[in-house]
Amino acid sequence: MNYLAIAATLTTLAVTAGHGGSSSADAARRDASAPTVRHVDEQQIAGRFAISPRYSRRLTARLSVVGAYELVLPANLALVRAWSPGFRPVAMTFSDGVCRTFEADYIHTLKNRRLSPTCAFNPPVDGAPITVRREGMRLVSSAWGFQAWADDTHERTVLTIAGRPADEPLFDASMAVTSMIAMRDPHGVGGDITLVGTINGKPMIVTVEVIL
């Protein structure tokens, strides 16, 4: 029997096992320093989003919250920017310099959430002109003919349709929005809008479906 070979094999196994434990610990530390997403019951926040009573088609317009997620961040991490080619997936850059992508399947509502440490697309350049400004409000972003205006004093956001009068907002959101991304229905009857910001100080990703 080759005792030297057996001893060498046992030594290799012991070293490998030690390395495996170290890798597991490293992975745990990496996980602890990375953001996660937690589903929030859409009905809990649905009352924060409503078609504006000043919208000209308010009697036939509809709004539904189809996805709500809290972005759980470690104490030393902050969200810097969010963007998307449509209303999802949502690419986000963080203060640690990492770009991460939030994705979910859209089957009536958003399901099967995922957060990956990669980004496959660059921030879009939106050249839509600002034809109507809203006094006392700050333009957050515009996409696919929608514009988001922030009322920083009251942590409120107003969504408008580009080109419509300033006194005819589409819907109001009781949410401090830092990024708005959207995709309009090709037939012009509605769209999906994702808002990234905070609700009661908690970072949130909320997607609403609107019928115009």
Ramachandran area for residue 169 (φ above 0: left; ψ -120 to 50: alpha; else beta): beta
Question: What would the mean pLDDT of 41-61 be, rounded to a whole number?
Answer: 96
Q: Is the pLDDT of residue 135 over 80?
A: no
pTM of the model: 0.80
Asked if residue 165 has pLDDT above 60, the reply is yes
CB of 208 closer than 8 Å to CB of 49: yes
| pLDDT score, position 16 | 39
Q: pLDDT at residue 31 above 80?
A: no
Domain boundaries, the chain: 1-32, 36-211
Q: What is the mean pLDDT of residues 107-121?
A: 81
Q: Is the pLDDT of residue 24 over 80?
A: no
CB 89 within 8 A of CB 103: yes
Q: Which residues pair with 143 in a beta bridge?
A: 146
The 10s digit of each residue's pLDDT in 93-102 is 999 999 999 9
